[in-house]
Amino acid sequence: MRRPIRLLATGVVTIALAATAASAGAAPSAAPRGPKLQSSAEVAASKQTYGVTASRAAKLKSYAPTANFTATWKRSDALKVSMDSTNTTPIIPENFPVISNKVWQWDTWPLTGMNTKPITYKGWHVIMSLVAPRTIPYGDRHWVARIGYYYSRDGHNWKYGGQLMDEARGIGCMEWAGTAIKTGKNTVRQIYTTVGAKRGGSTCRTTPPFDVKQRLAISKGKIHADSKGVWFTGFTSHKIIAQPDGKFYQTQAQGIAPYDYAFRDPFMFRNPKDKKVYAVFEGNTGGVTGSHRCSSRDLGNLPPGHTVDPESTKFTGNIGLMVATNSALTKWKLLPPLLSANCVNRQTERPHVVIKNGLYYLFTISHKFTYAPGVTGPDGVYGFVGSSLRSDYQPMNGSGLVLGNPPEAPEQNYSHEVLPNLMVQSFIDQVPTANGPRFGGTLAPTLQLGIDGANSYLTRILPYGYIPAMAGN
């Protein structure tokens, strides 16, 4: 049972839940009705930034997926980032429930079909997550991250099943985020980020500095299920399918600490327009850190008096694209980035695509601390809309911000994924308390978006970790 939410005078929504009921996890028989926060008409007067209309978005210039055109998240658009009741994540109480006491859980993705829709297998909902033992400090989890899996009868009450792949057979030292797709009767292909290289072919560094070499890999296994649960076999062979080229995507050698070098988080899907299989991923603009020069395409129409700090040239996040060139999905070709955030932000993590009403929505997540000097925004999910996979993407809501953490809890949620039904799942990072932060490492309440062209609205609050399938399989 959920108690009603309450709307604070500041316009920030607080989720008020009974800890015992939430922990028990009463299964919703259907998508919970939830309270309606505000309609688009009700917030039209107060919403400070607006994206293009649906009709204009449909007319945005379209390019072939292989074309050498990259849209830009302009600095002038990022300056418009502001928060209101339509894009502020509700406050999570400090007594939030935890799915598993065995592992920290963060970046999460459901088992899907090639159309990106979450599916069930023999009646079971299945999700993958990055996991690490709760016996280690929360801040150290990235360096021992593995892909784990969970299963549920209702898409809400999850049971941890263990690690998806045998780490002894892996090709890297860490496993970071990716996509799990059912491609046959019970065949699952996991595309993911393999991080680091085993020393001497078998061991990994256990103390800093850790090896953060990032490559994209794929492995194939089988899913099984009975009345008691779900398990996997296989995933014993791993193949590197992409590495940064130094031209479009920065290599590890070109990166200079402490600025991000990223080549990770592949999201795989079939493009309905040409029926080919693509993957978007996080990258950085090719070249040595600091060698990029902020162009007019990067900056846009800046207001009088705005200066661009020279350090901004080191902030060069982008959203990459690659295409599969064989049916086994073991051979891929790198393509130019879909979107760059040069001189705006150095991280465009976990990019993903939602195709709705003929429009392509390109989402990514980012942090406040990864913005370039002179621009800022909250930890959260950002979005862009175009008329095709490669398009002159325009920022949603005029700035790109779709959902951001409330000022009272700036590190509350992260790693959002917008699903095809516009539900947004994420994990709880840390919630402030009187005694210091309580670390989460568990799934946050799912949120429901409404979208009208490039405008988005937070409309409903759903239960913790509610990731229902959209189809059976």
Catalytic residues: 107, 349
Taking CB atoms within 8 Å and a gap of at least 24, the contacts of 198-203 are 198/171, 198/172, 198/173
Sign of torsion over alpha carbons 344, 143, 350, 93: negative
C-alpha triplet 453, 448, 71: angle, nearest 5°? 40
Whether residue 97 is preceded by a cis peptide bond, meaning omega within 30 degrees of 0, is no
Torsion of CA 333, 336, 341, 346, to 10 degrees: 40
What is the b/e burial string over 171-200, where b = at least 16 CB atoms within 10 angstroms of the residue's CB?
Answer: bbbbbbbbbbbbbeebebbbbbbbbbeeee
Give dist(CA 77, CA 71) in Å, integer.
13
Buried b (16+ CB within 10 A) or exposed e, 240-279: ebbebeeebbbbeebbeeebbbbbbbbbbbbbeeeeebbb
List Cβ<8 Å contacts ≥24 apart for 374-378.
Answer: 374/75, 374/306, 374/307, 374/308, 374/309, 374/312, 375/75, 375/78, 375/79, 375/81, 375/344, 375/345, 376/81, 377/78, 377/81, 377/401, 377/404, 378/81, 378/83, 378/404, 378/405, 378/407, 378/410
Residue ranges of E strands in 15-102: 62-63, 71-72
Q: Closest Cα to residue 397, out of 90, 84, 61? A: 84
Exposed (0-12), middle (13-18) or buried (19+): which is 160, by Cβ within 10 Å?
Answer: middle
For 71, 121, 124, the CA distances from 368, given in Å and listed in that order, are: 22, 38, 37
Q: What region, left, alpha or beta, does residue 122 occupy, with left being phi > 0 and alpha being psi -120 to 50 degrees?
A: left
HSE-CB at 259 with a 13 A cutoff on CA atoms is 27
Q: On the CB side of 42, how many CA atoms lie within 13 Å of its CA?
A: 10
- Angstrom distances, CA of residue 102 to CA of 91, 98, 99, 132, 136: 25, 10, 9, 8, 11
